[in-house]
Amino acid sequence: MLHVVNKSPFEKNCLESCARLSQAGSCILLIEDGVYGALADGEACEVVQTCLEDRQVCVLGEDLQARGIEPDRIVSGVEVVDYAGFVKLAVEHPKVQSWL
């Protein structure tokens, strides 16, 4: 399953719930304000690192760029995808859960 998180982990608990309730082997995609969760030195990095142990974690590059976050500032192991990559993930996974 593809899990999409679009809220800042510093303001909402969407990323936390997603991390708790997504299964091993699933994919988590951070978009919009959700990309702040990928900041390597931010407080949400531990949640992301835990997810990376048994899940794929991706972040939308366009949203990183809009927010001035260089790709070298994100948790290592998190994959940067573009809009085409977003579409590919949505097609590859039969179900999508958006943690609004």
Partner 1 sequence: MSEELQSGIVKKFLYINRRAPHGTNYAQEGLEVALIGAAFDQDVAMAYLDDGVFQLKAGQDTKAIGTKNFSATYRALGDYDVKRVYVERESLERRGLSEDDLMPLVYEDEDDDWEEKPLIHVVSAREMQQIISESDVLLNF
Residues that bind partner 1 (CB under 8 A): 6-8, 10-11, 32-33, 36, 39-43, 45, 61-63, 65-70, 73
| Rounded least distance, CB 86 to partner 1, Å | 12
Token code pair at residue 27: 């994919």
In whole angstroms, the minimum distance from the beta carbon of 8 to partner 1 comes to 5
Q: Which is nearer to partner 1, 26 or 61 (CB)?
A: 61
Measured in degrees and rounded to the nearest 5, phi and psi for residue 67 equal: -95, 5
Shortest distance, position 31 Cβ to partner 1, whole Å: 10
Query: Cβ closer to partner 1: 45 or 52?
Result: 45
Of the pair 45, 90, the CB lying nearest partner 1 is at: 45
DSSP string over 4-65: EE-S-TTT-SHHHHHHHHSPTT-EEEE-GGGGGGGBTTSTTHHHHHHHHTTSEEEEEHHHHH
